[in-house]
Amino acid sequence: MTQRIAVLLGGLSPERAVSLVSGQAIVTALREDGFDVVPIDAGMNLWEQLSFAKPDVIVNALHGEWGEDGRVQGVLDLYGKPYSHSGVMASALAMDKHRSKAVLAAAGITTAQHKLVPREEAAARHVMAAPYVIKPNAQGSSVGIYLVRDDTVPPPQDMLSNDDMGDWVMVEQYIGGRELTVAVMDGKALCVTEIVPKTDWYDYEAKYGDGGSTHQLPADIPEVATALALEWAALAHDALGCRGVSRADFRFDDRNLKKNASKASIVNKMVMLEVNTQPGMTPTSLAPEQAAHIGLSFRQLCRWMVEDASWPR
């Protein structure tokens, strides 16, 4: 019997445009694989939309606030059908950067020095020495992120009119070095990708723009660094209670690193930035690339998400 799959896409967050691309790619792949697929542009009437669609399984391709922070997952828990990715607790925890860093640190994972402050305070004064980054505490995809390089001039004032930042923002020490990411699938870390942005740093344009960055996989880094990134990504997935596919982002500063560096020295060079509980599924997305690297096509990855779906999560 052909399963009826609802794919949630679009949604209400500033990352709506990215979610539409992710969701449509999943819709196409599942249809090619023989599933009866109903795309749902998720709104505040999601329960009504699901009741009308009558799906057997729900694939959540939403990104950002509301779709990735536990609120939609709460609706799906109440609806009572198998769904993909993480449940309420892991989604809410991972989206809250301040609280998730506390969990990661307790698990033995190195994170950057950071503070949670009101947006007005971050705009009024430098709350830590530059260079540092100001980012929303509960958004993703580099929407509304400010890199402060010089604390002899005032902080960026346009954040005051950027409501996507939220009332509280994360001020985080800027970590130089190489941008790494690791996808985790069913609790197993896949591989390490190095992201080389063509802009000054890995901002929204570098992440989603056409040719904004290049991806090297596996990353050309010491084996001990690869092993640590894989270990930490799987550990973070478990510590936060993630399900399905997640992706952990890192900075790795290999300057002045000895050729035969030990794990102890690498620990001081590697920092986990955050964990994404619903990684992008766009043409330039990292998790599908890593799945392909281990021999899993995009269509197979999407089928796996359907087969992995469960209730409750």
Report, as residue numbers or ranges, the catalytic residues.
Answer: 15, 141, 208, 247, 249, 274, 276, 280
Contact 287, 280 (CB under 8 A): yes
Q: Is the dihedral of CA 97, 101, 102, 107 positive or negative?
A: positive
Contact 203, 53 (CB under 8 A): no
3-class secondary-structure state, position 20 = helix
Contact 114, 171 (CB under 8 A): yes
- The contacts found for 307-312 with CB under 8 angstroms, 24 or more apart, are 308/84, 308/186, 308/243, 308/244, 309/57, 309/58, 309/59, 309/82, 309/83, 309/84, 309/244, 310/82, 310/83, 310/243, 311/76, 311/77, 311/80, 311/81, 311/82, 311/83, 312/77, 312/87
CA distance 296 to 42: 28
Relative to beta strand 4-9, strand 36-41 is: parallel
Contact 58, 50 (CB under 8 A): yes
Q: How far is CA 274 from the centre of its chain?
A: 7
What φ, ψ does residue 195 adopt, rounded to 5°? -100, 125
CA distance 43 to 191: 35
What φ, ψ does residue 114 adopt, rounded to 5°? -155, 165
CA distance 85 to 98: 21
Residue 289 token pair: 């690339």
